[in-house]
Amino acid sequence: MTFLPPEHPTLPSGALDALMNASHGDPFAVLGLHEWGNHLVVRVFRPDAERVVLLLRDGAERVELSRTHGEGLFEIMCQPVSGGLAYELEVTLKSGAVVRTHDPYTFGRLLGEFDTHLFAEGHHWNLYEKFGAHLRVVEGVEGCSFHVWAPNARRVSVVGDFNHWDGRVHPMRKLQECGVWELFIPGVGAGAHYKLEVLNSKSEVVLKSDPFAFFSQNGLQTASIVFDLHRFGWRDEEWMEHRCRQEWHRRPISVYEVHLGSWRRKVEDGGRPLSYRELAHELIPYVKDMGYTHVELLPVAEHPFEGSWGYQVAGYFAPTSRHGNPDDFRYFVDFAHQQGIGVILDWVPGHFPKDLHGLAKFDGTALYEHGDPRQGEHCDWGTLIFNFGRNEVRNFLIANALFWLDQFHVDGLRVDAVASMLYLDYSRKSGEWVPNCHGGRENLEAVDFLKRFNEVCYNRYPGVMTIAEESTAWPGVSRPTYLGGLGFGFKWNMGWMHDFLHYMELEPVYRRYHQGQITFSLCYAFHEHFMLVFSHDEVVHGKGSMLNKMPGDAWQKFANLRMLYAWMYAHPGKKLLFMGGEFGQWAEWNHNRSLDWHLLQFPLHDGLRRMVQHLNWLYRNEPALYELDDTYDGFEWIDFHDADHSVVAFLRKSLGGDVIVFVANATPVPRTGYRIGVSNAGFYSEVVNTDAETYGGGNVGNRGGLWADPQPWQGRLHSLVLELPPLSVVGLKWTRPRPAELDGEFVPSGSLATRKSLD
């Protein structure tokens, strides 16, 4: 075979100039192997190279390419060859290093037409298997493929530590029908740092992190990192198989909400946050010991600003590298499942930050965000709003939700700020928002997106749960879409939370005037599948800790908080408590420091923690507290009229006929001989007493339980005469034991669940 070194570039001057200044939008048209007159020409553009050698027949034949332009264009010509010309390149860099590689511009199209069709329709649910950086073998060559959506960009290049971050070296091919850019780069392996250099529609060159990166740097360093997602070996088969059969509305759900960076820190190592693997072996045993069923993590997707707590996401497909790599996070989830603990993630499809390296103006246009600032910006948060009316954007978000369920086995997604998505006038004044096509304030595109998101999640992953943080009266948030609802599994009960906290923050002497605040929630408690929450939002921004919200001296603060938590567990609805609340932090939550674990050396704090632990035990073991959470069949008022004494009484029931009576006394005055009506004769064992001495109370109670009197009261055939401790909740479970069975079975009040086995 005869090779002819050209003396001058074979490219037209316009194409040559575009290649030199990195503005050529179709590099495959000029680089690699091409016909040139009656010859074939191989063109290689490597500004970082001193010389380039063509290797033929597995390196047995070597032909040096001619440098036809000083900026790094190398060329060689030869006669046409039947069957094509197979070659490799040996590149001697200016640093002296020698690299042997295949030519990226000899590989054909990577993304199939069916993939681009589904993406354009907005229905490519496995989009993360195609987009981003994927280690793969193409035509027998190992390397990494890159795909990114940037339809209005003039040129996109992959830059990284493998090409000295030079955007001229690896420009990408554009698939015109969908605006996706792609490139396969031989030899790029796991751990390579990269970004996407975009010559945008405004002729500006910007460096963007990969929207589909599976691993990224964090903080001020924002490079994406190539990561192999196929190496981890899961061991949670039993959990996953069991999960898909769960009907969570009929099961106990008690959630411990956690910010991973501040739950506990390594003081002996400079106060650094724990890694995912350390958290697996410290956080998960704690959650299990406390009796929670699930742990909910504030967003773990990559975010640049620590102070956003993860709610301003820049890398939607990457667990933050603050605590380790994606497999480390998988280890955390896998270990949790093996210990019987579910993992819920906070997910943020409502907005994203304006950081230059992120999604904002990705190709120079409003690509992911809505173009009209009246619809595309959250003024309160300084963030951008996704354009839910665009197929590709909806696809990006739904595929992202499925990515966490698929690749990380998470058990649920708590969707942040749903109210801000549903209403076009959310936190906007008149004239600052655009009505929908019917003249209304509802964001119809966002509603359609949320319905589709829920349908796809539940269809593809039975047994998961989706949870809405939604604070308005939007109807049917947790009802199926086929009944006109949004399709969520659960909704945070923000109304209950605000009413109860306001009531509890009052001095007890004034509570008699606000009885309606603690009874109103039962007017709507069964309109949705509710989750009762005291979340991170209630202990930041000057709101004080849960303990410091309570009135009175230290003893009364703890008594009030014990009463509040027991009331929450007695009230219909699933449960969630933010970390630190379980042992009574005095300080407001600070994301930059650890919780104050040293407080557990003090009896009042440790007593509160043990009470929460026992509440979780009782909740998980008493079907009356969870089986009928969404119907009046499981709840019945006994008396809610006694505002003068700030006392309420109600009962919870199970499908099997179990009954637990709850009585709350919201004043610091003990009530002696307080009679309430009950329907059933028999013995009522005291299973809850928040004034128990073991929790830091005064040990006023009912000596482990009492027999119902045959005296009718409050329209019922029997009654109980109770000792109500101050600032307390007392719970009594109806049983029918023979007197002999009482011996050794029950202990005096002073324990949450009165069975000796608990202590």
Q: What are the DSSP calls for 112-181, one per residue? A: -HHHHHHHHHT--TTGGGTSEEEEEEETTEEEEEEEEE-TT-SEEEEEETTTTT-TTT-BPEEETTTTEE
Positions of E strands within 179-236: 180-186, 193-199, 205-208, 224-225
Residue 261 amino acid letter: G
Distances (CA, A) of 467 to 319, 486, 566: 20, 11, 23
Cα–Cα distance measured from residue 355 to residue 352, given in angstroms and rounded to the nearest whole number: 9
C-alpha dihedral over 419, 466, 347, 469, to 10 degrees?
30
- The pLDDT value recorded for residue 81 is 77
Secondary structure E strands in 601-704: 635-639, 647-653, 659-665, 671-678, 683-689
| Domain closes at, from 606, 633, 659 | 606
Helix pair 276-290, 603-621: axis angle to 10 deg: 80
Edge to edge, what strands does the sheet with 705-707 contain? 635-639, 647-653, 659-665, 728-735, 683-689, 705-707
Q: Please check whether residue 122 is in contact with residue 394, taking contact to mean a CB–CB distance below 8 angstroms.
A: yes
Tokens of 138: 């193409």
Check pLDDT > 60 for residue 759. no
Split at pLDDT 50, 70, 90, the class of 80 is confident
239 lies in some domain: no
Question: CA 353, CA 308: separation in Å to the nearest integer?
Answer: 10
How many structural domains comprise the chain?
4
Q: Residue 48's domain is classified under what CATH number?
A: 2.60.40.10
Same domain, 213 and 316: no
Do the Cβ atoms of 559 and 727 come closer than 8 Å?
yes
- Give the pLDDT score at 82: 74
Q: Helix, strand or coil for residue 750?
A: coil
Q: Is residue 589 part of a domain?
A: yes
Same domain, 221 and 290: no
Q: Indicate whether 305 and 413 sit together in one domain.
A: yes
Distance CA(87)–CA(659), nearest Å, equals 80
Q: Which amino acid is at 661?
A: V
Are both 589 and 676 inside the same structural domain?
Answer: no
Encode 415-449: b = buried (16+ Cβ within 10 Å), e = exposed. Answer: bbbbbbbbbbbbebeeeebeeeeeeeeebebbbeb
CA angle (266 as vertex; 261, 267 as ends), nearest 5: 120
Instruction: Answer yes or no: do 728 and 644 share one domain.
Output: yes
**pLDDT reading at 753 higher than 60:** no
- Mean pLDDT over residues 691-709, rounded? 95
Query: What pLDDT digit, counting tens, does each position of 507-524 carry?
Result: 999 999 999 999 999 999
40 touches 81 (CB < 8 A)? yes
* pTM, rounded to two decimals: 0.94
| Buried/exposed 291-326: b ≥16 CB within 10 Å, e otherwise | bbbbbbbbbbbbbbeeebbbbbbbbbbbbbbbbbbb
Rounded to an integer, what distance in angstroms lies between the CA atom of residue 10 and that of residue 465?
A: 60
C-alpha to C-alpha distances, 214 to 251, 317, 698, nearest whole angstrom: 34, 5, 54
Per residue, what are the HEC states of 246-286? Answer: CCHHHCCCEEEEECCCCCCEEHHHCCEECCHHHHHHHHHHH
pLDDT of residue 752 exceeding 70, the answer is: no
Tokens for 689, please give them: 């007493």
Residue 247 is assigned to a structural domain of this protein: no
CB 752 within 8 A of CB 618: yes
Same domain, 455 and 581: yes
- Which residue in this structure is represented by tokens 């900026």? 71
Is the distance from CB of 569 to CB of 289 less than 8 angstroms?
Answer: no
Domain end marker among 80, 106, 132: 106
Any domain includes 242: no
pLDDT in tens, 547-567: 999 999 999 999 999 999 999
* Residue 208 included in any domain: yes
How confident is residue 379, by pLDDT bands cut at 50, 70 and 90? Answer: confident
DSSP for 493-557 reads -HHHHHHHHHHHHS-GGGGGGGTHHHHGGGGTTTSS-EEEEE-GGGGSTT---HHHHS-SSHHHH
CA angle 81, 85, 90 (to 5 degrees): 140
Same domain, 631 and 712: yes
Active site residues per annotation: 416, 469
Same domain membership, residue 650 and residue 583: no
220 lies in the same domain as 277: no
Average pLDDT, the chain: 94
Least-confidence region, from 5-19, 466-480, 565-579, 733-747: 733-747
Question: How far, in Å, CA of 565 to CA of 488, rounded?
Answer: 26
Query: Between 326-338 and 276-290, two packed helices, what is the crossing angle to 10 degrees?
Result: 20
Q: Which domain holds residue 715?
A: 624-758
Does residue 731 surpass a pLDDT of 50?
A: yes
pLDDT of res. 741: 46
Asked if 593 and 574 sit in the same domain, the reply is: yes
Tens of pLDDT, residue by residue over 432-446, are 899 999 999 999 999
pLDDT in tens, 298-309: 999 999 999 999
Based on the fold, state whether residues 645 and 749 are members of the same structural domain: yes
Q: Coil, strand, or helix at residue 722?
A: strand
Q: Model confidence over 84-136: pLDDT tens digits? A: 788 999 999 998 999 999 999 999 999 999 999 999 999 999 999 999 999 99
Same domain for 521 and 668: no
Distances (CA, A) of 325 to 191, 315, 511: 11, 13, 51
Cβ neighbourhood burial of 512 (10 Å; 0-12, 13-18, 19+): middle
Instruction: Give the model's confidence band at 1: pLDDT under 50 very low, under 70 low, under 90 confident, else very high.
Output: low
Report d(CA 352, CA 369) in Å as an integer: 9
Residue 232 lies in a domain: no
For 248-258, letters b (16+ CB in 10 Å) and e give bbeebbbbbbb
Query: Last residue of some domain: 606, 638, 666?
Result: 606
Instruction: Retrieve residue 136's tokens.
Output: 């793969």
Question: How far apart (Å, rounded) are the C-alpha atoms in residues 554 and 557?
Answer: 5
CATH number of the domain within which 347 lies: 3.20.20.80
pLDDT tens digits, residue range 328-374?
999 999 999 999 999 999 999 999 999 999 999 999 999 999 998 88
- What's the start-to-end Cα distance of the chain, in Å? 88
What does the pLDDT read at residue 739? Answer: 52
Residue 230 domain-assigned? no
CA-to-CA separations, 191 to 83, 181, 741, in angstroms, rounded: 36, 22, 66
Does 392 fall in a domain? yes
Question: Could you read off the pLDDT of 160-199 as tens digits, one per residue?
Answer: 999 999 999 999 999 999 999 999 999 999 999 999 999 9
Percentage of the residues of the chain whose pLDDT score is greater than 90? 87
